[in-house]
Every structure is written in structure tokens, then in C-alpha cells.
Amino acid sequence: MSTSPTTGAGSVAGINNFSGMDLETALMAVQSERANQLETQLKGQLDAVQARNTNIAKLNNVLSALNSVDAKFPADAKPTDQLGSIKGWKDNDYAVAREYEATVNSAIADAKLDSVFKDNGSKGQISLNPREWGFVGGLNSERTKADISAAIGSIKSLIDAQGNSQQMDMLRLQSLSNKRNEAFDIMTNFVKKMQDSRSSILQKM
């Protein structure tokens, strides 16, 4: 007797042949395989949760960096005002302005985002290095207050979406954890019953 390979939580794909097994051994093998598969699925789900948490943290870094730049605009700034026209870009140390840009662009690159700013924002240099001026899709002195506000809104939407998915991940994680614990409890009880049964037979003999 052979089983068809399946991938569900209750499958026994790792067991290919029950021939030669007594009933108790076969049932034990099935339950053991189910417990092992649930353990593997649980580990995979844990990895997925950790990956999502890391992604959310990186998005929060982008949001924090963008908020810091947005705060550089004066209270009466117009949506069309460019970064290069405000204090900190226009008349402060050039290196300070570039460091702000590099901080934002490095966070964008680390989060692997390509839609924070839809284009280069400049007809000049185009770079793939977030610490160089003209970083593709990144922050530079030609970005306007409206550009930055739109980018902040976009990042907040991404964080909200990731948060919703994170809740689903946690529910699935809890479900798999419960099933794994249940499978191991069943297996433990089964082993105990087998031992008790054999002990009883030996005593009678």
C-alpha cells in the first residue's frame, strides 16, 4: 500500500510504503510524519513573519527619513517649492544637504523600493548609488514639497498594507503552532498507549 504525495498539513508524503508494518507501527509512522511536516511548516511561517517584520522596519526607516526632510520646509512653503530653495540646501553646507539626501536614498535602496519617487526628478546625472546625486527614483534638491508629501503618503500606505498582512501571518502562525502541538500530543499519547498495551501483555504472559 502506498500513499499519494500531498503537501497539506495532514499529509504523509514522506511515507512511501506501509508494507511489512503492523497496524500500530503504520499509525505511528503516519502521525510522526504529520508532526514533522507541521514542524517544517511552522518554521517556514516563522521565517515569513520575521521577513515581514524586517520589511516593516525598513519602511519605517524610509518614513522617518522623509519626515525629517519634510520638516526642513518652512510652515508657509508651497507645494511647488523645491528642496534646493530652502535653508539647509540653498545656503548651508553643501555636504550637510547631500548627507540628508544620502540618508533618505540609502533607506529607499535598503527597502528595495522603486516607486517612492516615480522618476529621477532631474535631467542631470543618473546614479544607482544612493549616496550619489541623481540617485534614480530618489531624493534630490529638485524634489518639491508636494513630491515629498506624496512619497510620505505612499510609504504610510505600504506600512499599513504590511501591517494587515502581518496580522494574517500571526493568525496562521498561531494555527500551525496549535496543530503542531496537537500532533505531538497525539503522538505522545499513542506511544504511551502502545507501551501500556505491551506491558499488559507481558504481565499476562
Question: Grid cell 506624496 — which residue?
Answer: 150
Question: What residues are paired with 127 via a beta bridge?
Answer: 135
pLDDT in tens, 83-96: 888 876 755 566 77
Q: What does the block give as the cell for 122?
A: 532631474
Which helix (H) or strand (E) element contains residue 173? helix 145-204
Question: What residues are paired with 135 via a beta bridge?
Answer: 127
Q: Rounded mean pLDDT of 156-176? A: 82
Q: Which residue has the higher pLDDT, 157 or 47?
A: 157
**Amino acid making up residue 177:** S
Q: Which pLDDT score is estimated for 123?
A: 60
pLDDT in tens, 102-115: 899 999 999 988 77
Residue 13 has pLDDT above 50, yes or no: no
Question: Grid cell 508494507 — which residue?
Answer: 19
What string of DSSP letters covers 75-107?
TT--TT-BGGGSTTTSSS-HHHHHHHHHHHHHH
Per-residue pLDDT band for 205 (boundaries 50, 70, 90) equals low
Residue 196 has pLDDT above 50, yes or no: yes
**Amino acid making up residue 122:** S
Mean pLDDT, the chain, integer? 77
First to last CA, the chain: 33
User: Which candidate, 117, 122, 139, places its Cα nearest to that of 130?
Assistant: 139
Model pTM score: 0.67
Per the CB < 8 A criterion, the answer to whether 176 and 42 are in contact is: yes
pLDDT in tens, 67-76: 999 988 888 9
Report helix, strand or coil for 35.
Answer: helix
Burial label for 203, CB within 10 Å (0-12, 13-18, 19+), is exposed
Per-residue pLDDT band for 147 (boundaries 50, 70, 90) equals very high
User: Which candidate, 117, 124, 115, places its Cα nearest to that of 146?
Assistant: 117
Per-residue pLDDT band for 20 (boundaries 50, 70, 90) equals low
Q: Rounded mean pLDDT of 170-193? A: 75
Residue 8 has pLDDT above 60, yes or no: no
Q: Which pLDDT score is estimated for 189?
A: 74
Rounded Cα distance, 46 and 50, in Å:
6
